[in-house]
Amino acid sequence: MPDQNESLSPRPMSGQSIAIFVMATFLLSAFFDYPIFGPHPLSDTGEIFMWLVMWCPGAVALAFIPARRASFASLGLTRSGGRWLLWAAALPVLLYGPLYVLAGVMGHGTFTPASLAGHGLPLFLILLRALGRALGEEIGWRGYLFPRLRERFSFATSALISGVIWSVWHFAVIVQGAYQDAQKVPLALALPLFTIGLTGESFLYAWLRERSESVWPAVVIHGVFNWFTLRLVGQVLRPDAVTPWVVGEMSMGSAALGIAIAIALWRGPKQARSPTCV
């Protein structure tokens, strides 16, 4: 069996082609993330535009598949992911839940579980929406980009590069103050903390992608993470001025957890084949 860090595809995608995919994704996203058509970005003006910007990576990937005569199956959409779907649904709560508990124990936030009363159906519908949006991103990042990087590099390098790209893709929204907690943490610290945390998180998404040979676990963990941290916890946690520093996507807690995840998963999944893209 080939070493898990060796490429299994006979025709690795060129670095130039990978760069073109990344640039095309950033350019398409710019139409929605920057105030080109008015005083505010389109992504701030309506639900449909938020959907569109989150589907930019997936849309570019879907366009590149026939353009490069690649297999649609290489996106990982034709495999269910099996038991890894359950792990993907549970991991956001298991990994990030303790950070919120820590914030509460430290006195930096008050939990009000009673505020969930009567919100069961709305929260479920928001979860479905989060999964739909996550699908658009993951088709691009873990469906298309990560396997192409994996053809050329080790698991760790591929997860690291794709994670940094994924992080920088969010910068436009963060710089303009439209991202959660973007106005509560100084930008000079928010960007590096966010990048460290999200890049570490990308190791987990990439691990699930490679281990399951499916993109669906990455979709599930992405959607559930956004739903759990931005909606469910947001419904029951009343933060104070220090809370965003302890927990949240631009917090020291999230950055520390990202580093721990990257170290733990650095070698990639055992007995797994790197995704092929032919």
- Using a 10 angstrom Cβ sphere, with 0-12 exposed, 13-18 middle and 19 or more buried, the burial of residue 272 is middle
pLDDT confidence band for 3 (50 / 70 / 90) = very low
Q: Kindly report, residue by residue over 29-86, the tens digit of the pLDDT.
A: 999 988 777 777 887 777 888 899 999 999 999 999 998 888 899 999 999 999 999 9
- Of residues 25 and 123, the one with the higher pLDDT is 25
pLDDT band at 144 (very low <50, low <70, confident <90, very high): very high
Q: How confident is the model at residue 276 (pLDDT cuts 50, 70, 90)?
A: low
Q: On the CB side of 64, how many CA atoms lie within 13 Å of its CA?
A: 27
CB 7 within 8 A of CB 151: yes
Neighbours of 159 (CB within 10 A): 31
Biggest alpha carbon–alpha carbon distance for the chain: 57
User: Token digits for 186?
Assistant: 């100084």
Taking only the tens place, the pLDDT of each residue in 154-193 is 999 999 999 999 999 999 989 887 777 777 889 999 999 9
Residues constituting the chain: 278
Residue 145 near residue 18, CB atoms below 8 Å: yes
Nearest alpha carbon to residue 192 among 170, 214, 209: 170
* For residue 9, pLDDT beyond 50: no
Average pLDDT estimate for 132-147 = 97
Q: Is 82 exposed, middle or buried (0-12, 13-18, 19+ CB in 10 A)?
A: middle
CB 152 within 8 A of CB 13: yes
Report pLDDT for 52.
93
Q: Tell me, what's the pLDDT at 10?
A: 41
Strand, coil or helix: what is 111? strand
Residue with tokens 């398409």: 28
**What's the number of CA atoms in the CB half-sphere (13 Å) around residue 185?**
25
- Is the separation of the CB atoms in 255 and 197 below 8 Å? yes
Higher confidence at residue 231 or residue 253?
253
Please tell me the predicted confidence (pLDDT) of residue 271: 60
Cα separation, 91 vs 98, in Å, equals: 11
CA distance 8 to 15: 17
Q: Are 61 and 143 in contact, with CB atoms under 8 Å apart?
A: yes
**How many other C-beta atoms lie within 10 A of the C-beta of residue 29?**
23
Confidence class for position 273, pLDDT limits 50, 70, 90:
low
From residue 61, alpha-carbon distances to 155, 203, 266 in Å are 21, 20, 26
Read off the pLDDT of residues 222-240 as tens digits, 9 standing for 90 and up.
999 999 988 888 778 888 8
d(CA 260, CA 131): 26
User: Whole-model pTM?
Assistant: 0.89
pLDDT tens sequence across 71-130: 899 999 999 999 999 999 999 999 999 988 888 888 887 888 777 777 788 889 999 999
